[in-house]
Amino acid sequence: MKCHEYREAIATDPSGSFDGGDDHATACPSCRRFREEMRELDVRIAAALAIDVPLLRTPEFTPADATASAKVDLHAGRKGTATLPVWIGIAAVLVVAAFLGTRLLAPEVALPSLAEQIVAHMDYEQDSRRITSVAVPEQTLRQVMSDDVSTMDTGRELVTYAMSCVINGRAVPHLVIQGTSGPVTLILMAEEKIDDAIPLSGDNVHGVIVPVGNGSVAIIGEREEQLSEIDEIGERIVESVTWKT
Amino acid sequence: MKSMRADADRKRRFDEVVGIFHTELYRYAAWLSRDPGIAEVVVQETLLRAWKSLDSLRDDEAAKQWLLTIARRENARYFEKKSLDTIDIDDLTPEQSAMVAQSDDPQLEEMRGAIFRLEVEYREPLVLQVLLGYSTKEIAEFMGINPGAVLTRLHRARLKLKKSIDEAATA
């Protein structure tokens, strides 16, 4: 075995467990030194990779989770075969976990109101409220809306965020459109019937939930935005939305 | 009653599998994403998907690779969904900086920074080999590349790290 071959092999596997490895190291002091350097390097690499690990937090699971199967192909390599819709937000998973955790641990505790849940969700998904000119793919938008919304007119505004998110235990479309004064969030809740408009107010956002047929739509803008801008977009959306259910 | 027992057995099996591999799962996710916050999200999503597909895991001996396969896919999905580009190594978030500088040992911090700066095609096989004990063949199968490519990447990863450490030592 030549020295360059040995060094190449040692750099891929410092244990030296390849044919001819030990013999070459015995015979060549320079390569033996290189082997020791690689082994010392690996000790440092192993120590560096062993970062602190936070406590394990297992999500709360429901029996329904156990029956919904998502196949995982162990041999798929880069191409996955998981069948869960990709537009289900990770936030949705965590919110469901928190919601169910609360119910299991303290069922007598009052649940947050619809407005409070929406404001908390807005804080959690702050990334959705970026000013951007990148529209979501049409297919993503259709898929997010497919279960609940039959028609909706977003006008000329760009839809830059579309995700299915869990509000009040149900997955609903969460959209962001780029208004003239900034991003406006729409949460379309086909089965949240309310009698009157409910104002929303958080540290960074404000808006309103308005009744629409047997459901409701939350329309939320950034704290510094004028409510009139939110109202104008909201009015158009509310007038054009029809539910599938 | 039978159904409750079946649910309890399923939960026990899941807890055993996850409990054994949680540390490796998190560390893999953290070094793949280079972000502790993203790693936590990826781990949570991995656990949820693993729970749902637990019945497809025929052999608990294969649990580690099974969990890591899910995590790898979830990490890719996370970055795809967030349209994130590569991390700017000169503009780390506080969480990323904390991940690199977790220890008081300057040599450890130096090595962590060097691994952090490695491109993912070199960093991932190194993590799989050194941290998770994967063989070349296992890494090739896991990453969907040929064994020759694995060997080349491991070789280059170590030489890059050695160069980085040597330069820091002489600076």
Query: What share of chain A has pLDDT > 90, as a percent?
Result: 15
The distance of A26 to chain B (nearest Cα, Å) reads 22
* Of A222 and A26, more confident: A26
Q: How far is A82 from chain B (nearest CA, A)?
A: 9
Tokens 């991995």 -> residue: B46
Q: What is the pLDDT of residues A76-93, one digit of tens each?
A: 333 333 333 333 344 444
pLDDT at position B122 over 50: yes
What pLDDT, in 10s, does the model give residues A95-105? 444 444 444 44
| Shortest CA gap A231–chain B (Å) | 29
Report ipTM (2 d.p.): 0.91
Q: Which residues of B touch A51 (CB under 8 A)?
A: 27, 30-31, 99, 102, 112
**Of B11, B31, B143, which is closest to A49 when you measure between CB atoms?**
B31
DSSP type of residue B103: S
Q: What is the DSSP letter of B130?
A: I
Please answer yes or no on whether A48 and B108 come within 8 Å at the CB atom.
yes
**Model confidence over B1-42: pLDDT tens digits?**
556 677 778 888 888 887 788 899 999 999 999 999 899 999
Which long-range contacts (C-beta less than 8 Å, at least 24 apart) are formed by A8-14?
A8/B155, A10/A34, A10/A35, A10/A38, A11/A38, A11/B154, A11/B155, A11/B158, A11/B159, A12/B136, A12/B151, A12/B154, A12/B155, A12/B158, A13/B136, A13/B154, A14/A38, A14/A39, A14/A41, A14/A42, A14/B158
Q: Residue A87 has what pLDDT?
A: 38
Q: Which residues of B touch A69 (CB under 8 A)?
A: 52-53, 55-56
pLDDT the model gives residue A184 = 86
Q: What percent of chain A has pLDDT over 70?
A: 73
Express each pLDDT in B54-106 by its tens digit: 888 888 778 899 999 999 999 988 887 776 555 666 677 777 887 888 777 88
Show the CA angle centred on residue A84, arms to residues A81 and A86, nearest 5°.
Answer: 95
**CA angle at B16 for the pair B50 and B43, rounded to the nearest 5°:** 40
CA count, 13 A, side-chain hemisphere, A34: 23
Give the best-scoring range by mean pLDDT among A154-163, A176-185, B16-25, B67-76: B67-76
Q: What pLDDT shows up at residue B84?
A: 58
Does residue B169 register a pLDDT over 50? yes
Instruction: Enter the tokens of residue A50.
Output: 């062993």
The C-alpha atoms of residue B171 and residue A5 are separated, in whole angstroms, by: 31
Whole-number CA gyration radius for chain A? 27
For residues A68 and A35, which has the higher predicted lDDT (pLDDT)?
A: A35
pLDDT bin (cut points 50, 70, 90) of residue A108 is very low
C-alpha closest to that of A76 among B117, B142, B77: B142
Q: What is the mean pLDDT of residues A154-171?
A: 79
**How would DSSP label each residue in B20-31?**
HHHHHHHHHHHH
